Amino acid sequence: MNPLNPLHSGRHFLQIPGPTNVPDRVLRAIDAPTIDHRGPEFAALGKSVIAGMKRVFKTTGDVVIYPASGTGAWEAALVNTLSPGDRVLMGETGHFATLWRKLAERLGLAVEFIPGDWRHGADPDTIAERLAADSAHAIKAVCVVHNETSTGVTSKVADVRAAIDRVGHPALFMVDTISSLASIDYRHDEWGVDVTVGGSQKGLMLPPGLSFNAIGTKALAASKKAKLPRSYWDWQEMLAVNTAGFFPYTPATNLLYGLSVALDMLFEESLDRVFARHDRLAEATRRAVRGWGLEILCADPALYSSTLTAIVVPEGHNADALRRLILERFDMSLGQGLGKVAGKVFRIGHLGHFNDLMLCGTLAGVEMGLALASVPHRKGGTQAAIDYLAETAARQRDATASDQPREQPVQSSPAIPGARSAAAQVRY
Ligand code: PLP
């Protein structure tokens, strides 16, 4: 029992940058009887969610879905395309880039890690320099985290692609979109990415447990020669049965029901509007932070993340103590500082199934927490966010009359047999 908030009445605020709030519609879809994963109904579901994920990644190539957390899809990207001892170029953008590096090294890859200050994204010019110096083409892959969840800093994926092309280097290009997919604009094909890694528990509004590889043709060709050992993650086995809508092993059937409905929701809103919603809520959050007189960890405004904001607490104060107090008193979970910035920053997740009033509640909780924890700040940050939300809502109202959703569901799949309610039927 929490003495500060003994009743725990009302809803918990889950404002970490993933796992995010799961919409009731998705929860209801998951809460349905599990079907035979080798039967015809499953085949329709499998084909449908794979088609939907291709739209989300913006690719006409292959997408595989693993019953695994994002770390599994990181590993899958590497073991399918590379061989023991291959050199890989990665950038130290934050905690998750560091974890991907560790994973690569454990697999026996030789990682060249470009140092970073955790306040900037991957630098295309430095990547170009390193690749230009590699005239023997020993570097086999460049790996970049699109949206560093530990720092709230994005990297310019298209610029990294252009840098690789500028020096004519044949390395594969792999991008982690675990905290940007379905929240921040991302284009696998157009940006020439060879493997994109995604996860279910952030912009896709699902519980943790699914992860993805979007696979370009060059990566698929590389997978035929790659020598790193793999079994569970093997693309070839997966793709061989995916065409018929099946998996080589037992899939996460009920999470796929949820994915189907989450895709419906994304396409009903339209991806462009989903991205615009995230951009707007992120800008409101930053206005609140500036209003409080606190510092945003991301040092380059061109690289601000639209899914989370990492906020630096003033010297002499501990971000974890502030978070603990906010959790105990206001029943809100905020993201902790990870790795090098542990205790120094806290993170507000503003992604997924999220709207204006949820953001206002979140910011009010932070502002009250700052006061309660005696963290030096100015009052009124939440008001600055409210003002921005109200102004932009008025502008949106005036602009929306002629603005119809541009994306429609591409196909509809049959209802899942035995599903308990209309809301639990898969419609995508
Ligand atoms: N990459 C990024 C950018 C992440 O944010 C995370 C998790 O938050 C991961 C990778 C690892 O994914 P998981 O924890 O689902 O294994």
Residue 153 sits in a domain whose CATH number is 3.40.640.10
- Domain shared by 215 and 356, yes or no: no
For 272-317, write each residue's pLDDT tens digit: 999 999 999 999 999 999 999 999 999 999 999 999 999 999 999 9
Question: d(Cα 356, Cα 303) in Å, to the nearest integer?
Answer: 22
Write down which residue in 202, 232, 267 finishes a domain. Answer: 267
Full DSSP string of 343-357: TTEEEEE--SS--HH
How far, in Å, from the CA of 67 to the mean position of ligand 1? Answer: 14
Report the nearest atom of ligand 1 relative to the CA of 199: 15
- Domain shared by 62 and 190, yes or no: yes
Mean pLDDT is lowest, of 78-87, 184-193, 207-216, 398-407, for 398-407
- Of all residues in the chain, the percent with pLDDT exceeding 70 is 92
Best residue among 149, 180, 183, 206 to mutate for probing ligand 1, ranked by most atoms within 8 Å of CB = 149
**Contact 196 CB / ligand 1 (< 6 Å):** no
- Of all residues in the chain, the percent with pLDDT exceeding 90 is 91
Q: Are 13 and 331 in contact (CB under 8 A)?
A: yes
**Contact 83 CB / ligand 1 (< 6 Å):** no
Q: Is residue 165 part of a domain?
A: yes
Write down which residue in 215, 232, 267 finishes a domain. Answer: 267
- Domain shared by 77 and 193, yes or no: yes
**Contact 346 CB / ligand 1 (< 6 Å):** no
Report the nearest atom of ligand 1 relative to the CA of 72: 16
**Contact 388 CB / ligand 1 (< 6 Å):** no
> What integer pLDDT is reported at residue 2 of this predicted model?
60
- Domain shared by 275 and 263, yes or no: no
Residues in the chain: 428
Question: d(Cα 237, Cα 64) in Å, to the nearest integer?
Answer: 11
Q: Is residue 40 part of a domain?
A: yes
Q: Is residue 1 part of a domain?
A: no
- Domain shared by 261 and 291, yes or no: no
For helices 381-400 and 271-292, angle between their N-to-C axes, nearest 10 degrees: 150
- Residue 331, both tokens: 């029943």
**CB neighbours of residue 175 within 10 Å:** 28
Q: Is residue 333 part of a domain?
A: yes
**Contact 175 CB / ligand 1 (< 6 Å):** no
- Domain shared by 170 and 220, yes or no: yes
Best residue among 74, 95, 96 to mutate for probing ligand 1, ranked by most atoms within 8 Å of CB = 96
Residues 6+ apart with CB under 8 A from 194: 81, 141, 172, 173, 174, 215, 216, 218, 219, 222
- Domain shared by 172 and 89, yes or no: yes
For 88-119, write each residue's pLDDT tens digit: 999 999 999 999 999 999 999 999 999 999 99
Report the nearest atom of ligand 1 relative to the CA of 99: 10
Count Cβ atoms within 10 A of the Cβ of residue 66 and give its class: 0-12 exposed, 13-18 middle, 19 or more buried: buried
Q: Are 48 and 56 in contact (CB under 8 A)?
A: no
For 313-362, write each residue's pLDDT tens digit: 999 999 999 999 999 999 999 999 999 999 999 999 999 999 999 999 99
- Domain shared by 78 and 156, yes or no: yes
- Residue 153, both tokens: 């800093």
How far, in Å, from the CA of 200 to the mean position of ligand 1? Answer: 10
Q: Is residue 408 part of a domain?
A: no
Confidence label for 405 from pLDDT (cuts 50, 70 and 90)? low
DSSP 152: T
- Domain shared by 39 and 160, yes or no: yes
Q: Specify the number of domains making up the chain.
A: 2
pLDDT at 422 over 50: no
- Domain shared by 79 and 17, yes or no: no
Shortest-distance Cα residue to atom 13 of ligand 1: 70
Q: Is residue 288 part of a domain?
A: yes
| Cα-based torsion angle of the residue sequence 217, 206, 261, 281 in order, rounded to the nearest 10 degrees | -90
**Contact 18 CB / ligand 1 (< 6 Å):** yes
Residue 276 sits in a domain whose CATH number is 3.90.1150.10
**Contact 209 CB / ligand 1 (< 6 Å):** no
- Domain shared by 262 and 288, yes or no: no
**Contact 198 CB / ligand 1 (< 6 Å):** no
Question: d(Cα 154, Cα 264) in Å, to the nearest integer?
Answer: 27
Which residues span the domain enclosing 108?
25-267
Q: Tell me the backbone φ, ψ of residue 425, rounded to 5 degrees.
A: -80, 145
- Domain shared by 119 and 96, yes or no: yes
Q: Is residue 427 part of a domain?
A: no
Q: Is residue 8 part of a domain?
A: no
